[in-house]
């Protein structure tokens, strides 16, 4: 009797569990392109979390993963997850079939993410490299190059300020000690003897082997192609020997914290406008009267 009850109970659970499994399975009817379009729509409407989930689903099956990575980077940047956004732009640039236009924008956007991260000489040097790549790209239009030039100057300014901080730390290792606890200052025998102070020789990140383009995370080649990839022989955008690198001046313009924040706010607006422009270029203008079912 007990055995028969267990058997009937198991027979009842089996079809029920199968139905629950089917209900929990994600729908596979949408193509990757449909998922990307739907993600773009919800991104424009302001639902960034849903857009990110749809991009993640599309990324698993998309024939153009670089496009999905580019779109997801915009979502992450909007969330102020600058490190993750930068890594997604790096994936875009490592895509062997990345079209030059997308690569130019990815260089610019990645440099902007690095500017927002900040905090070290290496980060600002990498940002300088990104903006130089964007400027050297033949696929970048004039507005993009103008913005890249502005951000390049800002990146070099911040790099120079960080360099000065590092030099001050090397010269004054006890700067964190309260003034009353500092030992009495003693004359420097080397300076009294006319010694040479070499601490200020490094004046530009692109000199003497400190070229920011040598950052190890930079890809070696940019190739053409989007949904219908067509290979090209275009080399890395940053190796144009005819373009003279911008040099730091001995006197740099000082930016207040308020001005720096205002500049960064404009950068965010630019990236959002570029994201919308890219979406319109890829999928055309919005058609509210067209049904999507």
Q: How confident is the model at residue 286 (pLDDT cuts 50, 70, 90)?
A: low
Residue 183 has pLDDT above 70, yes or no: no
pLDDT at res. 171: 78
Mean pLDDT of the chain, nearest integer: 68
Please tell me which of 28-37, 107-116, 284-293 the model is most confident about, judged by mean pLDDT: 107-116
Angle between helices 48-61 and 32-45 (to 10 degrees): 170
Q: Does residue 129 sit within a domain?
A: yes
Q: Does residue 276 sit within a domain?
A: yes
Report the alpha-carbon distance of residue 163 to residue 106 in Å, rounded: 27
Q: Does residue 62 sit within a domain?
A: no
pLDDT at res. 41: 82
Q: What domain count does the chain have? A: 1
Handedness of CA 137, 138, 141, 143 (dihedral sign): positive
The model's pLDDT over 143-176, given as tens digits with 9 standing for 90+, comes to 999 999 999 999 999 999 988 888 888 876 555 5
Q: Does residue 43 sit within a domain?
A: no
Q: Does residue 265 sit within a domain?
A: yes
Q: Does residue 34 sit within a domain?
A: no
Query: Any idea which residue has 């205002």 for tokens?
Result: 262
The model's pLDDT over 228-277, given as tens digits with 9 standing for 90+, comes to 333 333 334 444 445 455 455 555 566 677 777 787 888 888 887 777 77
4-18, 67-81, 88-102 — which is least confidently predicted?
Answer: 4-18
Is pLDDT larger for residue 177 or for residue 110?
Answer: 110
Model confidence pTM above 0.85: no
Is residue 66 within 8 A of residue 96, CB to CB? The reply is: no
Residue 35 has pLDDT above 50, yes or no: yes
**Cβ atoms within 10 Å of 9's Cβ, excluding its own:** 10
CA gyration radius, the chain = 27
Average pLDDT in the 3-29 region?
Answer: 46
Report the alpha-carbon distance of residue 266 to residue 260 in Å, rounded: 10
Q: Does residue 200 sit within a domain?
A: no
Report the alpha-carbon distance of residue 89 to residue 290 in Å, rounded: 32
- Range 231-237, long-range pairs (CB < 8 A, 24+ positions): 231/97, 232/100, 234/100, 234/138, 236/133, 237/103, 237/104, 237/107, 237/133, 237/134, 237/136, 237/137, 237/138
Task: Write the burial class of residue 122 (CB in 10 Å: 0-12 exposed, 13-18 middle, 19+ buried).
Answer: middle
Distance of CA 216 to the CA centre of its chain: 15
Domain range for residue 233? 82-170+207-243+253-284
pLDDT at res. 38: 78
Q: Does residue 95 sit within a domain?
A: yes
């Amino acid at each position: 009797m007990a055995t028969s009850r267990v058997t009937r109970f198991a027979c009842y659970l089996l079809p029920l569990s199968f139905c629950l499994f089917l209900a929990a399975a994600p729908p596979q009817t949408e193509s990757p392109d449909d998922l990307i379009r739907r993600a773009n729509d919800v991104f424009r409407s302001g639902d960034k979390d849903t857009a990110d989930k749809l991009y993640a689903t599309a990324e698993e099956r998309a024939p153009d993963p670089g496009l999905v990575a580019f779109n997801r980077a915009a979502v992450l940047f909007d969330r102020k997850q600058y490190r993750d956004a930068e890594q997604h732009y790096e994936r875009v640039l490592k895509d062997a079939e990345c079209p030059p236009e997308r690569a130019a924008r990815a260089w610019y956007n990645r440099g902007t993410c690095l500017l927002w991260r900040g905090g070290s000489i290496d980060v600002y040097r990498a940002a300088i490299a990104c903006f130089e790549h964007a400027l050297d790209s033949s696929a970048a239009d004039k507005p993009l190059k103008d913005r890249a030039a502005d951000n390049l100057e800002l990146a070099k300014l911040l790099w120079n300020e960080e360099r000065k901080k590092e030099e001050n730390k090397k010269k004054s290792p006890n700067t964190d000690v309260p003034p009353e606890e500092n030992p009495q200052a003693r004359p420097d025998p080397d300076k009294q003897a006319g010694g040479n102070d070499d601490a200020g020789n490094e004046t530009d990140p692109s000199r003497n082997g400190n070229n920011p383009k040598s950052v190890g995370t930079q890809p070696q080649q940019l190739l053409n192609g989007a949904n219908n990839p067509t290979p090209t022989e275009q080399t890395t955008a940053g190796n144009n020997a005819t373009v003279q690198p911008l040099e730091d001046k001995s006197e740099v313009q000082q930016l207040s914290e308020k001005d720096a924040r205002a500049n960064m706010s404009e950068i965010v607006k630019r990236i959002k406008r570029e994201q919308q422009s890219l979406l319109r270029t890829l999928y055309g203008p919005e058609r509210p009267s067209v049904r999507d079912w």
